[in-house]
Amino acid sequence: MKFRPHVIYPVLILLVAAATVGVMLLLQNINQRMAEAEETVFRVTEISEATVDPAEWGQNYPRQYDSYQRTVDMERTRHGGSEAFQRLDEDPVWRTIFAGYAFGVDYREDRGHAYMLADQDITVRVKIVKQPGSCLHCHSAVLPAYYEQGVAAGVPADEAHRQEAIFAGFEIVSSMPYTVARPLVEHPITCGDCHDPETMQLRITRPAFFYGIQALARSAAPLPHLPSIERWRADGQQGEYDPNTLASRQEMRSFVCAQCHVEYYFKGEEKIVTYPWDEGLLVEEIETYYDTVGHTDWVHKMSGAPVLKAQHPEFELWSQGIHARSGVACADCHMPYKREGAVKVSDHHVRSPLLNVAAACQTCHNFPEGEMKARAEAIQDRTVALMNRAEEAINALILDLQTAQAAGIPAEQLTAAQEYQRKAQWRLDFIAAENSNGFHAPQESARSLAEAIDYARQGQLALANVTPVVALR
The answer to whether residues 211 and 274 touch, using CB atoms and an 8 Å cutoff, is: yes
Shortest CB 362 distance to another protein, Å: 5
The CA-atom distances, in angstroms, between 268 and each of 29, 152, 171, 174, 293 are 62, 24, 12, 11, 10
Shortest CB 29 distance to another protein, Å: 5
Measured from the CB atom, is 30 or 293 closer to another protein? 30
Shortest CB 250 distance to another protein, Å: 8
Measured from the CB atom, is 18 or 470 closer to another protein? 18
Shortest CB 190 distance to another protein, Å: 28
The answer to whether residues 91 and 291 touch, using CB atoms and an 8 Å cutoff, is: no
The answer to whether residues 273 and 137 touch, using CB atoms and an 8 Å cutoff, is: yes
What is the length of the chain?
Answer: 473
Shortest CB 22 distance to another protein, Å: 9
Give me the amino acid identity at 316.
Answer: E
Measured from the CB atom, is 364 or 471 closer to another protein? 364
473 vs 404: CA distance, rounded Å: 9
List of long-range contacts for 281-286, beta carbons under 8 Å, 24+ apart: 281/216, 281/221, 281/315, 281/316, 281/319, 281/320, 282/221, 282/316, 282/320, 283/313, 283/316, 283/426, 283/427, 283/430, 283/444, 283/448, 285/221, 286/313, 286/316, 286/430
171 vs 344: CA distance, rounded Å: 40
Shortest CB 254 distance to another protein, Å: 13
Measured from the CB atom, is 224 or 341 closer to another protein? 341
Measured from the CB atom, is 31 or 465 closer to another protein? 31
125 vs 86: CA distance, rounded Å: 13
Residue 264: partners with Cβ closer than 8 Å, 6 or more residues away: 208, 273, 274, 275, 276, 311
397 vs 162: CA distance, rounded Å: 51
Measured from the CB atom, is 10 or 92 closer to another protein? 10
Measured from the CB atom, is 3 or 236 closer to another protein? 3
Mind giving me the DSSP string for 404-457? HHHTT--GGGTHHHHHHHHHHHHHHHHHHSSTTTTTTSHHHHHHHHHHHHHHHH
| DSSP reduced 3-state for 421 | helix
Shortest CB 335 distance to another protein, Å: 15
The residues that touch another protein, with contacts defined as CB under 8 A, are 5-6, 8-10, 12-13, 16-17, 19-20, 23-24, 26-27, 29-31, 33, 37, 326-328, 332, 338-339, 341-342, 344, 358-359, 362-364, 366
The answer to whether residues 243 and 255 touch, using CB atoms and an 8 Å cutoff, is: yes
The upper half-sphere exposure of residue 424, i.e. CA atoms within 13 Å in the direction of its Cβ, equals: 29
Measured from the CB atom, is 53 or 340 closer to another protein? 340
Measured from the CB atom, is 27 or 293 closer to another protein? 27
Shortest CB 33 distance to another protein, Å: 7
Shortest CB 7 distance to another protein, Å: 10
Measured from the CB atom, is 25 or 129 closer to another protein? 25
Shortest CB 230 distance to another protein, Å: 19
